[in-house]
Amino acid sequence: MTPEAAKKVIIVFRPHARNEDCAGVAYDKDGNVIAYHISSTVDWFRSDMGLTGKTGIGKSKLALYAAQYPDGYQLEEFIGDWRTHPKLKEFDNKSA
């Protein structure tokens, strides 16, 4: 990965770590939504969003990420209250 690609972080966010239905969103570095998904478990969510899965739905998410950043990117998983993540909080402040 190039140094420039390392700056292109896609944040994959979900609000909780409970192993039940979970929804999440992938944001680009500017706060735009690239992808979202609802999965039946945390493991499926991680696979479906391309964090661990490279086939099926995960593969389609990886294609969306690559289209956004063809020179490479870095995935960052964040679990918790979005207000505690500096970048997610910054996105909210921009939209206000």
- Please report whether residue 55 resides in a domain: yes
Instruction: List the structure tokens of 61.
Output: 């998410």
How many CB atoms within 10 Å of residue 28? 18
* Residue 1 counted as domain residue: no
pLDDT at res. 40: 87
Answer whether residue 32 is part of any domain. yes
The answer to whether residue 34 sits within a structural domain is yes
Residue 43 domain boundaries:
10-89
Tell me which amino acid residue 94 is. K
Question: Averaged over 18-44, what is the pLDDT?
Answer: 85
Instruction: For residue 3, name the pLDDT band (cuts at 50, 70, 90).
Output: low
Residue 4 lies in a domain: no
pTM over 0.85: no
Number of domains into which the chain is organized:
1
CA dihedral 86, 91, 94, 96 (to 10 degrees): -100
